[in-house]
Amino acid sequence: MKVKNICCIGAGYVGGPTMAVIAQKNPDIKVTVVDINASRIAAWNHDDLEQLPIYEPGLDKVVAEARNRNLFFSTDVDAAIEAADMVFISVNTPTKTYGKGKGMAADLKYIELCARQIARVAKSDKIIVEKSTLPVRTAQAIKSILHNTGNGVKFQILSNPEFLAEGTAVADLMAPDRVLIGGEQTEDGFKAIQALVNIYATWVPQENILTTNLWSSELSKLTANAFLAQRVSSINALSELCEVTGADVNEVANAIGKDSRIGPKFLKASVGFGGSCFQKDILNLVYIAKSYGLDAVADYWEQVIIMNDHQKHRFASKIIQTLYNTISGKKIAFLGWAFKKDTNDTRESAAIYVADQLLEEQASIVVFDPKVTKQKMQSDLNYLNTRSEEDNAQYLTTVPEPYEACKDAHAIAILTEWDEFKTYDWQRIYDQMQKPAFVFDGRGILDQSQLKTIGFQVYVIGK
């Protein structure tokens, strides 16, 4: 089967870039990305590519090439579903905040709404592709909703989890380590799998396109994130031991990473992992394991989250303790708010939790981040509900320029590893700070010996 018309429901961090690349690589397929969020769609359609709703290096070029050729962004969800022969579901699946599974399970209400909308609108057979990250066996629920419409339309359901990382989304999509496609192991299932394989095969080598059954594909996505996050928590656990023993976490990471069985990637000690996926997906994995009565499995993976929370807390405590156990009224400059460099995404960023702890001690925080807006920072803090919105706005402020953030500060905390932080005039920053001037490098990106020569008191995670 040759797909001619794709609809993607959800124009977010995954739907937008993924469909832009599919459209760029398949000029003969019409791709329509739809969303109920009208302002997001308007931003995707903005003439000024700087106004795209998400910041990803290289994305503007891909969008510029494909948009209004065979890539379209629209709020007319029904029309796009009806016209499509393949529908990707790429809506958000956040951690549940209510009811059974609160704080652990994935909230599948947006997924179910999509399935019901497809069931209501579809007049011709369609392949439905789960692009969102979903608990294993969700395809069963989608199938049951779709197959009970009674209108005779046939659906095949595929699982095609996305492995892109933010900040490198376009590069990851252009050259993925693998594309994973799970489907029903029946004749119709294999045909649907092949239809999706053909789309990716226009630019991904065949050997990098893996096909599996539905459940393996769904579970592989949660497993991949659990393994990646587990590496970060493992090196972060060791960073604390390094600090008390005189070992250097970078040297340890380098030494173990040379072992080809371990490998060098994802061994960078940090103030803790953030992002919309790692915590959510591990909590979901823990919940699934518990629901099958596998408590030892659940406890094992939960420890990855416990360690990550400890790392964020430990960093904030280090700042308080070093500043003579009192930061009340002291200005602390934050360089970085995003959960990693090269993105404007702040979901679950370590900066939010470190700020919250310092604000409880009545610090005055001034933040500079090259891509994150003041409104975003405030809403991140307000979401925690620790104090009033007025207090958050009064004690955490945002400036558009790093030197202003650091002026008169008692301490600087590096929360995101933006490259530009390394290029600043650190002598100038030192001259304008309170003394002693402290730097807490939560990302291990600055030249510690250079800072010490200037006169800074420096703390680096894992050293």
Ligand X SMILES: O=c1ccn([C@@H]2O[C@H](COP(=O)(O)OP(=O)(O)O[C@H]3O[C@H](CO)[C@@H](O)[C@H](O)[C@H]3O)[C@@H](O)[C@H]2O)c(=O)[nH]1
Q: Please indicate if the annotation marks 223 as binding a ligand.
A: yes
Starting from the edge strand earliest in sequence, which strands make up the sheet with 71-74, in order?
71-74, 30-34, 5-9, 86-89, 126-130, 155-159, 179-183, 209-213
Of 4, 12, 9, 1, the closest CA to residue 343 belongs to: 12
Min dist CB 340 to ligand X, Å, is 4
Of 21, 22, 62, 16, the closest CA to residue 6 belongs to: 22
- The site partner of 90 among ligand NAD, ligand X, none (C-beta below 5 to 8 Å per kind) is ligand NAD
Q: Please indicate if the annotation marks 16 as binding a ligand.
A: no
- Options 7, 91, 119, 228; binder of ligand X; rule CB under 6 A: 228
- The site partner of 11 among ligand X, ligand NAD, none (C-beta below 5 to 8 Å per kind) is ligand NAD
- The site partner of 340 among ligand X, ligand NAD, none (C-beta below 5 to 8 Å per kind) is ligand X
Stretch that binds ligand X, among 47-55, 189-197, 260-268, 301-309 (CB under 6 A): 260-268
Q: Does 337 bind ligand X (CB under 6 A)?
A: no
Residue 277 designated active-site: yes
Rounded CA gap, 340 and 200, in Å? 28
Min dist CB 217 to ligand NAD, Å, is 13
Cβ proximity to ligand X: between 31 and 445 the closer is 445
Rounded CA gap, 319 and 411, in Å? 8
Q: Please indicate if the annotation marks 35 as binding a ligand.
A: yes
- The site partner of 267 among ligand NAD, ligand X, none (C-beta below 5 to 8 Å per kind) is ligand X
Question: How is residue 312 written in tokens?
Answer: 């964020």
- Options 219, 249, 267, 283; binder of ligand X; rule CB under 6 A: 267
Min dist CB 229 to ligand NAD, Å, is 13
CB 395 within 8 A of CB 378: no
Q: Please indicate if the annotation marks 329 as binding a ligand.
A: no
Rounded CA gap, 68 and 64, in Å? 9
- The site partner of 339 among ligand X, ligand NAD, none (C-beta below 5 to 8 Å per kind) is ligand X
Min dist CB 305 to ligand X, Å, is 13
CB 403 within 8 A of CB 428: yes
Min dist CB 84 to ligand X, Å, is 24
C-alpha angle 110-213-224 in degrees, rounded to nearest 5:
65
Of 257, 6, 284, the closest CA to residue 126 belongs to: 6
Q: Does 275 bind ligand X (CB under 6 A)?
A: yes
- The β-bridge partners of 212 are 182
CB 221 within 8 A of CB 281: yes
Of 287, 340, 301, the closest CA to residue 101 belongs to: 287
Is residue 152 packed enough to be buried (19+ CB in 10 Å), middle (13-18) or exposed (0-12)? exposed
Angle between helices 214-245 and 138-146 (to 10 degrees): 150
Is residue 120 packed enough to be buried (19+ CB in 10 Å), middle (13-18) or exposed (0-12)? exposed
User: Choosing from 7, 8, 242, 277, which is the catalytic residue?
Assistant: 277
Q: Please indicate if the annotation marks 225 as binding a ligand.
A: yes
Which DSSP state fits 132?
S
Cβ proximity to ligand NAD: between 228 and 366 the closer is 228
Rounded CA gap, 42 and 45, in Å? 5
Starting from the edge strand earliest in sequence, which strands make up the sheet with 331-335, in order?
396-398, 364-368, 331-335, 411-414, 438-441, 457-460
- What residues between 130 and 169 interact with ligand X by CB under 6 A? 133, 162-166
Q: Does 277 bind ligand X (CB under 6 A)?
A: yes
**Total site size for ligand X, rule CB under 6 A:** 20
The shares of helix, strand and coil residues in the chain, as percent rounded to the nearest 5, are: 45, 15, 40
- Options 40, 268, 330, 410; binder of ligand X; rule CB under 6 A: 268
Residues that bind ligand NAD (CB under 6 A): 9-15, 34-37, 40, 77, 90-93, 110, 113-114, 132-133, 162, 164, 166, 276-277
- Options 273, 287, 353, 438; binder of ligand X; rule CB under 6 A: 273
Cβ proximity to ligand X: between 177 and 390 the closer is 177
Stretch that binds ligand X, among 47-55, 265-273, 395-403, 429-437 (CB under 6 A): 265-273
Rounded CA gap, 197 and 193, in Å? 6
Residue ranges for the known binding site for substrate are 162-166, 221-225, 261, 268-274, 339-340, 443
Residue ranges for the known binding site are 10-15, 35, 40, 91-95, 132-133, 162-166, 221-225, 261, 268-274, 277-280, 339-340, 347, 443
Residue ranges for the known binding site for NAD(+) are 10-15, 35, 40, 91-95, 132-133, 166, 277-280, 347
Q: Catalytic amino acids? A: 277
Residues in touch with ligand X (CB under 6 A): 133, 162-166, 225, 228, 232, 266-268, 270, 273-275, 277-278, 339-340
